[in-house]
A and B are shown apart, each in its own frame.
Chain A
Amino acid sequence: MRCEECLPLLDEYICGELDEPLSNRLATHLAGCENCTSEQTELQREQNFYARCAVPATPALWAGVRIKIAEEEKAGGGFSLPGARLWLAGALNAWRLSPLRATAAAVVIVIALSVGLLNYIELGGDAPVDEAAVRPENESKEQPSLSVDIPVTSASDKYGVSVQTGGDIDVSVSSKKIEKRVDKFIAVAGEKDVKPKPRKTIIAARRHISNRDSSKAEVSRVSDRTGAAFASGIDTETAHHVERAQILLRSFKHWRFSEDEMALEIDYEKKLSRELLGKNILLRADAQSRGNEEAGKLLARLEPFLLDIANLQEGLYQEQVALIRERMHQEGIISSLRLF
């Protein structure tokens, strides 16, 4: 074995990762090569040096993980208000991110609302709603119900698309029932022969989820979360979300890439933007329903930017990024986020 063969394998040799024949060949070489032996010694010294630098985790970390898991479980289990909102936001968001499906979704929503969506959800479907199963016996009609109002508007006139609709969906049924209904809509949307919008079009749809009665609707029938704890958690989450969004937009603002280089970066930024968008919809709805005007307005301003970044289209990155940056500058969105 020559030194050129030996040196790149020393690291694996020291870690015992080489197979026996190769390891033996290396050992033979090392026995007669001062240069490689010296390098072996140096590597071992480094291994020892870095091994001393282990940084243990703080035991308290688990508490934070446990809390977040508990929050997610609450959000995901049964018919908890945040869970239903998160699910709806995600479902609607998924539609939005595909131009074809978004258009189909908008059309279906208009049709569905016009023929009486309220009745459809309350009475229709393949599995009748067992009201008794989801509503306590002593619950009157005055009990709060989650109301989902979904106005869809264009974020910017320059994109040339404007879809306006709205309506109330009374979802005073279990989350499972809601899921079935929306699954049906998705199926219907898929079957519709809807002509897709031009690829260059960016539809910046805003979906607004609000409570008909915010003071009562804070209290989910199933959730045992108190209003105060819920509000506190949401405020903290909003602050964290705004911080992340600010970082994303700042990063976006300072991009200096060619189209090719940008293509490599864009997937990550789009993915992050999608993630933030889903969260933004949820948090904005919560802020607005709780009367937190400042947070609601800020998140409403942020949403079109997240949406547009999430929808950046291959081949048009430079042009679209320039447009978004210009709007960011005009609207001073980063400053607003920083000041929040």
Chain B
Amino acid sequence: MLADELSTYVGTPINNSEALIERARRGDVEAFNSLFERYADPIFSFIYRMVGQHELAEDLTQETFVRAYRKLKGLQLHAGTKLSTWLFSIAKNVARESMRARLRDSGRVEITEQSVLELSDNAPRPDAQLLDRELNSIIQAALQTLDEDKRLVFTLRVIQQRSYEEIAEITEFSLPKIKTDIFRARAEMRRLLHPYLEASDEM
């Protein structure tokens, strides 16, 4: 999906989607399908970056939209509130529940140890071909090294490009905490990914 397309609808004020929401509230599943089509990609991408497993992210994306459908009746429409912010809040809760439930069960098993070991300050600079194939998994591995809060705000800010105000609304964190976490997460990601970042200039 093109970034400009994404930004067009992701930032749509909730009132612009009011007609669809109202129809969905009355049980019009096709209207809800339209909402799903608008937001499925960013929500899935967000959840995937949070939990690190494609299949699980698919399940959790479905759970997010089922919960959203369930909650539509009670949704309060505030001026300036974005539907995407509301959906990201639900997605955050769904992902967080899943991560917490699994965290002490199996540790951070979503990523291979090898992929983490490959992420080091002295790793050789990969060529572009390798980048194409492994970029996603490498980023995923690096993200999984962050603690949950940092991964959450980093994903929302840097990957999903949400504003600080939206992130505060989604996470219920204070702005200073968000900024501190993003600063630290960014530094850590930069340290882990710098060979790939440098190589990306040549792509």
Contacts and interface: CB of A to CB of B under 8 A. Distances in A.
Of the four ranges (under 10, 10 to 19, 20 to 34, 35 or more), the interface on chain B belongs to: 35 or more
Interface stretch (B40-48, B81-89, B109-117, B118-126): B40-48
Of the four ranges (under 10, 10 to 19, 20 to 34, 35 or more), the interface on chain A belongs to: 35 or more
Interface stretch (A170-178, A216-224, A242-250): A242-250
19 contacts: A8-B183, A12-B164, A17-B164, A45-B200, A47-B158, A48-B200, A54-B1, A54-B6, A54-B41, A56-B1, A56-B41, A56-B44, A62-B33, A66-B29, A68-B62, A247-B105, A248-B101, A268-B97, A272-B97
A87 to B, nearest CB: 14
A54 B200 contact: no
Interface of A: 8, 11-12, 15, 17, 42, 45-58, 61-62, 64-66, 68-70, 72-73, 244, 247-248, 250-251, 254-255, 268, 272
A57 B196 contact: no
Interface in B19-43: 27, 29, 32-33, 36-37, 40-41, 43
Contacts of A268: 97, 100
Nearest to B68: A65
Contacts of B6: 54
B135 A53 contact: yes
Interface in B188-203: 189-190, 193, 196-197, 200-201
The CB with the most chain B CB atoms within 10 A, among A46, A57, A73, is that of A57
A334 B101 CA distance: 14
A248 B105 CA distance: 9
Nearest to A45: B197
Nearest to B196: A49
Contacts, number: 108
Given A46-B186, A244-B101, A268-B97, A73 B159 contact: no
B149 interface: no
Contacts of B161: 15, 47
B135 A68 contact: no
Nearest to B189: A46
A175 B154 CA distance: 47
Contacts of B69: 65, 69, 72
Contacts of A56: 1, 41, 44-45
Contacts of B1: 54, 56
Given A45-B201, A56-B41, A66-B29, A272 B136 contact: no
B169 interface: no
Contacts of B62: 61, 64-65, 68
Given A55-B136, A56-B44, A248-B101, A65 B66 contact: yes
Contact of A251 (B36, B54, B65, B100): B100
A48 B131 CA distance: 14
